[in-house]
Amino acid sequence: MKLLESIDKFSETSRVAVRCLDKQLTYKQLKEYSDKIAMYLLKEFKEDRRPIIIYGNKENNILPVMIGALKSGRAYVPLDVTFPEARINQIIDEVKPRVIFNFTNDSLDLKYELEIKQNEVDDIINMPINEVPSKDKWVKDEDNCYILFTSGSTGKPKGVQINKRNIDSFTKWFEEFLEFDESPKIILNQVSYSFDVSVIPIYMGLGNGKTLFTLNKETLEDLKLLFTELTSSNIDYWVSTPALAEICSKFDDFNNEKIDKLSEFIFAGEVLTKKLVKNLMNRFPNAKVINGYGPTEATVLISAININEDIIECEKGIPIGYPINNCELNIVDGQGNKLKDGEKGELIVIGDSVSIGYLNNSEMTNKVFFETSEVKQGYKTGDLAYYENGIIYYCGRKDFQIKLNGFRIEIEDIENNLRKVENINNTVVFPVFGEEDKISHLIAFVVLNNNNELSNLKNSTLIKNELKKLIPSYMIPRNIKILNEFPLNTNGKIDRKKLMEELK
């Protein structure tokens, strides 16, 4: 695997692999520590190759644990500290791991596994090294490398399995697209490890000898510290959702004088607006702006494009780009027939980047994954798009799945969890659109079981506090409106159209 080979190769140099605040790991340390983690897993769990769970945020030693898992032939499942306990336990129940590496001070309600705390990780990586894992133990083509849990319509998250073949397909194409080489440059490592955009700095950054400049949760929550870190970072590559760049763009000092080595912005995860691109082009006139698109189920990105002035001046929205060259991307109608240029339909991807499906969830897997007559894996994205001159334009979702601040969310997931909140009878959740048809926030309409005589504001606060126990904070609606009853349409169903009129 290129990532593992690269770490071995650059361990012979003095290059820094990852830096976060005042702490860093060299490639030599990353190799040694990951070897020790791998040997620990191999000796402790022998042939039991169930995935490991990693619970934390951006602690430097998470990377040796990830790499160590791959060197022992195991997948890892990253869980971010922002996940509520109920969701963490759902994922633990699904994965049934033997071991959890817990980088937090939280105590987890463990049922199946051994818990290794942060100080115990330190003990493992500080042990004298006697042997290293042989390459025949490393993950192979059909072995899972990681499993990411995304929002599910039933209220239960789905575990997307990504194997070595998937990773190799993505990195080979995107490295060529970006003209990535092994020069000692610095790449931003801000995106949560539980979100697939983080794969870019990990597998492409470390896979090419780069230094990962890490921004952890505490830094992101302190705008003054965030800006101090960015201006001293010397980053060459910016990788994030557009949301982080939009926050930074509120500061006048966010420009090429303060961050003078920045040569490429790489965006993915949500709609990129022309307003933001124009702003960045003014502030960083010599930097490229790359817009990428891809579902987690097809390994990070399956299309990308370098945004130029012609695209900005065009009356159309920003395209999601040229398709990955080692997969087939088709636009089809409801019967599965390929559509012509300019005709809008569902985007289907076929090829080595496509996951084998959801972990332990054959029902959902069979709904959206398929195999072609050439024995290639396919995935129905549920996204509407069209081709024009070889470039793909995104047109929204077929269903109720949305992206907000880079996170993929299924509206039904929020609704099902809202219904678990005490005194809620029923609810409907909508995305609210802002500039350039980009989703700005969520609103929930709620009918209570019992009128408690509290104001809308007080009820909203109570509901949000309860909801925090069930779903991540990014899924919680900004506005909650209490209704006496829902309007119904002629079919006796909730009249969503009438509710939506209240958003205008």
- The pLDDT assigned to 492 comes to 58
Nearest Cα to 170, choosing from 189, 145, 139?
145
Q: What is the DSSP letter of 253?
A: T
- What backbone phi and psi angles, to 5 degrees, belong to 101? -95, 110
**pLDDT value of position 172:** 97
In single-letter form, the type of residue at position 269 comes to G
Handedness of CA 431, 433, 438, 442 (dihedral sign): negative
- What pLDDT was estimated at residue 405? 85
Cα–Cα distance measured from residue 345 to residue 336, given in angstroms and rounded to the nearest whole number: 9
Instruction: State residue 111's pLDDT score.
Output: 66
CATH of region 2-384, choose from 3.40.50.300, 3.40.50.12780, 1.10.10.10, 3.40.50.150: 3.40.50.12780
Sign of CA dihedral 111, 116, 118, 119: positive
Amino acid at position 33, single letter:
Y
State the CB neighbour count (10 A cutoff) for residue 183: 9
Backbone angles phi, psi at 185, to 5 degrees: -105, 175
pLDDT of residue 489: 66
| Residue in the structure block whose two tokens are 């949301």 | 243
The pLDDT value recorded for residue 112 is 66
Please state, in angstroms and rounded to a whole number, the distance separating the CA atoms of residues 486 and 247.
Answer: 37
CATH 3.30.300.30 for domain 401-501: yes
Residue 43's pLDDT is what? 94
Q: What is the reported pTM? A: 0.87
Helix 164-178 and helix 2-10, axial crossing angle in degrees, nearest 10: 70
d(CA 82, CA 118): 18
pLDDT of residue 491: 54
| Dist CA 383 CA 452 (whole Å) | 41
- Do the beta carbons of residue 211 and residue 189 sit within 8 Å? no
Amino acid in position 48: D
Cβ neighbour number for residue 368 with a 10 Å cutoff: 16
Regions in the chain scoring below 70 on pLDDT: 110-112, 153, 489-493, 504
Boundaries of every domain in the chain: 2-384, 401-501
Q: How far is residue 452 CA from its own chain's centroid?
A: 39
The four Cα atoms 172, 175, 176, 178 give a dihedral, to 10 degrees, of 160
DSSP 279: H
Q: Concatenated DSSP letters for 450-503?
A: S-----HHHHHHHHHHHHTTTS-GGGS-SEEEEESS--B-TTSSB-HHHHHHTT
Look at residue 56 in the predicted model and tell me its pLDDT: 95
**Alpha-helical regions (H) of 295-424:** 309-313, 362-368, 411-418
